[in-house]
Structure 1
Amino acid sequence: MLITEAPFTLRKWTVKEYRKLGEMGFFHPEERVELISGNIIRMSAKGTAHTSATRRTSTLLRDLLENLAAVYTQDPIALDDNSEPEPDITLVRIDPFDYATHHPTPSEVYLIIEVADSSLAYDREIKAKIYARSGIADYWVLNVNDRQLHVFREPADDRYQSEVILGETANISPLQFPDFNIAIQEMLPPIISN
């Protein structure tokens, strides 16, 4: 007998239900999870290269953009009713109330950066799909292992029409801030020789 459909369906969660689970203490306080397309995803542990790149990049962006944009690290953004990811770095429009009443929405997001050490395929495929679907115009994946930056632009439906891979010696400018030139090497952890 050939089975053409799965004998079960997964139960999808809404952002409202996901938040309620958090309020009820369903997740361990140190458990890192995020809601992606209705699925509660356990996030992988952060290695030292990941932590270093996240810290270096967020500091670089804060220093560069000063009062032009807010730089959030591993904070939630509200994409839709079924996705509330926590990108490694999000460049958002400054809110005078510091988003006290809501998480930043796609119209308030200038740039999302995911730092990938063990999560490259997930960030390039799954996360790119939800960010494109939400209309995030500028999405970068900083690949710390290969010392490259994957730049995704031109969202259409649930994919990006443009993906460019830049090496560590290249420079990049955020779409929203074209006058600011960022050296990719400055975003990456330094190479320490023994």
Structure 2
Amino acid sequence: MMPPTKAKQWTVDEYHRMLEAGILTGTDRVELLDGQIIEMNPQLPPHAATTQRAFRYLDRLLETVAYMRMQLPVTLKPKSEPEPDIAVVRTDPNEYGDRHPTPDDIFLIIEVADSTLLGDRQQKALIYARAGIADYWILDVNTQQVYVFREPTSEGYQQETLLAANTVLTPVAFPDIAVPLNQLFLPNML
């Protein structure tokens, strides 16, 4: 009888070496989640359009206080490098040309969910909480609701709130800036 197989746990450094060596390329739609190289789901039009709309709105709203990244990596050592739909990060004079943002740089992570809601609420929420990301939102394109996760611990987020699109939400890092959630969704979907 063969012993049970164990999946290899990759570190961020090993993942970067695979990219540098060409084992993984820009055409591979993957991200490193908790030591596993995971293929990213293709985007349906509502997901893509909501991501673009939310990014454009938040970019205009936060342009004087933060830098916006859309579907680009954030490094959460030792074993995760997800590519969230939107990351609101600290302004960097080098525009992160020499590294990806790390937890100390991240103000807010937003994932847009259609078929990925369960994974975003469970696996990604735990990864972001363990990294100490203070504010994590999931825009559910199917129900037009926003899941808000706050108070991260090593066991997960202590606070999870579900809000309707007609709600106004204030980011943890920017308590003076109100975000009308309906601005993040497509008007014909509300």
Tell me if both proteins adopt one fold, taking TM over 0.5 as the criterion.
Answer: yes
Quote the Cα distance in structure 2 between the aligned partners of 1:123 and 1:55.
Answer: 18
Spell out, residue by residue over 1:108-141, the C-alpha distance to the aligned partner (whole angstroms, 9 max, x if none): 1000000001100000000000000010000000
Number of the residue aligned with 2:147: 150
Alignment map for 1:74-113 (pairs within 5 Å): 74-113=71-110
Matched, 1:168 2:165: yes
* RMSD (Å) for aligned C-alpha atoms: 1.6
Give yes or no for contact 1:130–1:158 (8 Å, CA) kept in 2: no
Quote the Cα distance in structure 1 between the aligned partners of 2:18 and 2:24.
Answer: 7
Q: What secondary structure sits across from 2:188 in the alignment?
A: coil
What is the TM-score with the length of structure 1 in the denominator?
0.93
Shift of 1:25: 2.4
Give, as a single letter, the amino acid of the residue that structure 2 aligns with 1:92.
Answer: V
Give, as a single letter, the amino acid of the residue that structure 1 aligns with 2:62.
Answer: L
How many residue pairs get matched?
A: 189
Number of the residue aligned with 2:118: 121
Give the one of 121, 125, 135 matched to 1:138. Answer: 135
Quote the Cα distance in structure 2 between the aligned partners of 1:22 and 1:117.
Answer: 28
Give, as a single letter, the amino acid of the residue that structure 2 aligns with 1:126.
Answer: Q
Give yes or no for contact 1:113–1:140 (8 Å, CA) kept in 2: yes
Matched, 1:46 2:43: yes
Q: What secondary structure sits across from 2:17 in the alignment?
A: helix
Alignment map for 1:65-76 (pairs within 5 Å): 65-76=62-73
Identity %: 44
Spell out, residue by residue over 1:68-117, the C-alpha distance to the aligned partner (whole angstroms, 9 max, x if none): 10000011111112111110000000011111221111011000000001
Number of the residue aligned with 2:182: 185
Give, as a single letter, the amino acid of the residue that structure 1 aligns with 2:162.
Answer: I
- Structure number with larger C-alpha Rg: 1
- In structure 2, stretches of 5+ residues that fail to align are none
Quote the Cα distance in structure 2 between the aligned partners of 1:105 and 1:27.
Answer: 22
Shift of 1:192: 6.0
Matched, 1:18 2:15: yes
Alignment map for 1:25-44 (pairs within 5 Å): 25-44=22-41
Q: What secondary structure sits across from 2:187 in the alignment?
A: coil
Give yes or no for contact 1:173–1:179 (8 Å, CA) kept in 2: yes
Give, as a single letter, the amino acid of the residue that structure 2 aligns with 1:172.
Answer: L
The runs of 4+ residues in structure 1 deviating greater than 2 Å are: 23-31
Structure 1 residues 95 and 192: CA distance shift in structure 2, 3 A: closer
What is the TM-score with the length of structure 2 in the denominator?
0.94
